[in-house]
Amino acid sequence: MSTQQPDSLPTDYSQSHPLLSARTIARMSADPCPHPLNAAAIHHAKSLGDAVGLQHVGIHFCTLDPLTDSTVFHWHHTDDEWVYILSGRGVLKISKEDESGCMRHREVEEVEIGPGDFMGFKRHGRAHALRNTQVEEKLVFLCGGERNEDMVVEYPLVNKMLRKANGKYTFSDLP
């Protein structure tokens, strides 16, 4: 049985026109996106970039349920990422950086975030994840990043690495 509303658009909706109206975005269904390393880390995403045919960047309208993590704490070797908070409150979990600029990816600090906050994560930068700390309110945000043919992501707190090569994703233990 489908939970999609009668006026809803499918999660893989696409169009040829570059303008995706607010009305159309509101009608788009959101995909649940559980993380393969932690099914409890789940956000719901509407792929705005896919809907207008973008191929080299991903742009998503996301919601994060109360008391939920957005993803597994991670950092990218090959991609820049960004997040802009639209509504709700939570914390940014971010790896520490020492005085010399060395990343301490297994040391995590938490910074409160809310509407209007922007985060940019450069490749080889700090590890990161979001958490909705609210009991009732959803955390709503835009996020995006590059879509490279090959990709390497490290998950330092669970000692895993993800590689994408030739369209195939492979997890392995960190060396």
Supply the CATH number for residue 41's domain.
2.60.120.10
In a domain, 21, yes or no: no
Tens-place pLDDT, residues 34-74: 999 999 999 999 999 999 999 999 999 999 999 999 999 99
Total structural domains within the chain:
1
In a domain, 167, yes or no: no
Q: Is the pTM of this model over 0.85?
A: yes
**φ, ψ at 22 (rounded to 5°):** -60, -40
In a domain, 16, yes or no: no
Tokens 């993800």 label which residue?
Answer: 162
Lowest mean pLDDT among 5-14, 121-130, 141-150: 5-14
- Alpha helix (H) residue ranges in 30-171: 48-51
In percent, the amount of the chain with pLDDT more than 90 equals 87
Is the pLDDT at 2 greater than 50, yes or no? no
Is the pLDDT at 4 greater than 60, yes or no? no
Is the pLDDT at 162 greater than 70, yes or no? yes
Tens-place pLDDT, residues 98-111: 999 899 999 999 99
pLDDT band at 5, cuts 50/70/90?
Answer: low
Provide the residue range defining the domain that includes 59.
30-148
In a domain, 15, yes or no: no
How far apart are alpha carbons 150 and 167 in whole angstroms? 8
